[in-house]
Structures are given as structure tokens and as C-alpha cells.
Amino acid sequence: MIISVPKEVMPREKRVALVPDTAAKLIKKGFVIQVEKDAGFNAGFTNEQYEKAGVKLVDSVSELYSNADIVLKVQRPVDHPDQNKHEIELIKEGTLLITLMYSLHYPEVAQKCAEKGINVIAMEAIPRTTLAQKMDALSSQANLAGYKSVLVAANHLRKIFPLMMTAAGTIQPARVVIMGAGVAGLQALGTARRLGAVVEVSDIRSAVKEEVQSLGGRFIEVDGAEDMQDSGGYAKEASEEFLKKQKELIFKHVTEADIVITTALVPGRKAPILVSEEMVKNMKPGSVVLDMAVEFGGNCEVSEKDKVVTKHNVTIIGESNLPSLVALNASEVYSKNLMALLEHISKEGVVELNREDEIVKGSLICFEKDVVHERTKDLL
């Protein structure tokens, strides 16, 4: 089977779906791999590295898509700037597209794929089970995003992170508040602690308290918090009453912080507002808010997608694609996620989709001209 890897065309996207090392391993498993010329350039992978790995480089985008059995991408299909066509139009019927589709946020893209007869596996829909751990692209990308979020925020802060004793006096450590103790939040906590900050973490799931404390963070606990974690390990959508109680408690912590990093997402829903404009008004001059949920509406009421703005003397960072800022490592781990999935659904270089398999069942969005993912279908 022929695997095609195009260059990502979504603005600000520097990652590539397949790196040379992983491509070489898939070739040994019986796949033929072709990659668009310069597809890995922005992530730090040269055409020569791909050729050395046994990959065929293709100049023509239409040729790349026309003979592919499987297309591997990072981002969902969008309008192609050089082809005057949508990427879906370039993919032939019967092709298996594996990508981060976010079909619960963009169900119309899934619908178009189904109409064209493109079968789609969404990497963000891979079940969070032990068996699927190696394929968990959401976690692999969130891990790197959490790390980078701290460095980006630190660059905009007017002070240093660690406690420092100098002849001129003692410099107090920075105070960081992280909202959400998922994969991104815990990595942000670990990174901020390594840099010497005092870190407090808020999460609606009381089950994460021990993890936060084990990494050296202080857990901000809401009184009477019920367990807000679903069977898949994601945060449930909280009630208005709970969010109100949480905001009142967090107001004090946020307004005393130097940096606030928000990471709260609910699959398929608009991100909950955790930092109101009123909170921002009461923050210390020069403090920083980094909103990791800005692509899906944002956790901060006044953040703006892909912009760094100053409001009420507070810097608010709305970077929607943090993994792309560490594109080399993000591509490496995403590539390994894809390889683990392909190993699971193929035998000797031939993919066979078993609809009864729990991983296929959970992540298959479109199949044989139909949207088969129930939650996506409900949105159409």
C-alpha cells in the first residue's frame, strides 16, 4: 500500500506527519512511502534524509494524492493555497486519511470527506486505553505544548522564575497558576518548577491532587468538588454552579499570580471561561496569561487567537499551535503515534479496518461514504 505525506498547508503549521526514521521502519513493514518535496523542511528534516530512508520524493501535489492508498497528515484538510482547491478534492475516493481531524469541532469537514468517499481515522479520537497508549497523539502533543507554554510565558514576563539571593538583596520566585492538570498542565507544572517558580494548580477533578503534589505543585481545591472525570480520563463539563464556586476561589490565586496558564478543554465543546476580564483587571501589572485553549474559544475572556495582546497592563498570549513551536520533537512523537496505529491495523503492509476493534471503532469517523462516528454524526 502507498502512504502519501503532504506538506502541511494550514497557516502556522510547521510539523510533518512522518519523519525519516519512522518512514524507514514502515518501509521495512511493507509499505511504499512517498513524501511531498520539502514537507519536513519546517520541522528540521531535509529531502536528503527522506531519500536516505528509502522514501520517494514527489514534486506534484496532485500526483502525491492521486495514487495514495493512505494519506497521513497533522492537520485536517483545508483549502490548498497553491492548487485553488480544497485538499479533500485532491484526495481520491477510497483513500484512508489519518489525521488530527477534530470532527467534534469541525463536523462539516467529516461530512465532506464522507461525501467524497474518503475513509477517515481521527488521531484525537483514539481511545485512552492502555493498549492505545502508543497511539495517543493528543497526549504526545499536549505534553510538548505544556513544556513550551511555560517558556513562551516566561519570555513575556518582566521577572525571573527562581528565588535568587544576591548582594543587592533577595529576588522572590515567580508565582505561576496552572488551570487544568491534564497532560499539558502537569508538564507545565514540572517545567515551571524546574525553572524555580512557586506553582499552584487548579482542576475540577479531585483525582489529580496527588499527581500535582508529587510534582511539587500546590493543589487549589474547590470545596465540595465532585469527581469530574469521565471514563476516558477527560474532564467532564462542569455545572454553572460549580464553575461559579471555582471562579470565586481562583480569583484570589489568579490576581496574586505572575503567570497564569490555562489548559482546560472539553472535547466537542467550546472551552470554558476560567479567567474573566474582571480577573485580568485585578492582576498585577506586567503579569502574563497564556491561553492554551484559544483555538476552541479560549479559557480567558479577553484572549485573541494567534495574537499577543496587552489588556489592563496584562500580557495575554493566544498561541493556538504550541506543538508547532517545537516542530521537530512534535513531529517525531506524532510520527511514532501514527506508526503504532498503522502497526495495529495492518499486516505485512496491508491495512484492514476491523470495525469491531475498540481502537478502530473509537477513532473511525468516516467509512464507505458515511459518517460512522456517533458523536460527530449527532452534530450534522
In this prediction, residue 215 has a pLDDT band, given cuts at 50, 70 and 90, of: very high
CB 366 within 8 A of CB 118: yes
In the chain, what are the domains?
2-135+327-367 (3.40.50.720), 157-320 (3.40.50.720)
In this prediction, residue 224 has a pLDDT band, given cuts at 50, 70 and 90, of: low
- pLDDT in the model for residue 204: 80
List the catalytic residues: 128, 133, 136, 139, 234
Note the pTM of the prediction, 2 decimals: 0.91
Quick one: average pLDDT of 134-138? Answer: 96
Tens digits of residue pLDDT in 281-294: 999 999 999 999 99
Quick one: average pLDDT of 192-205? Answer: 93
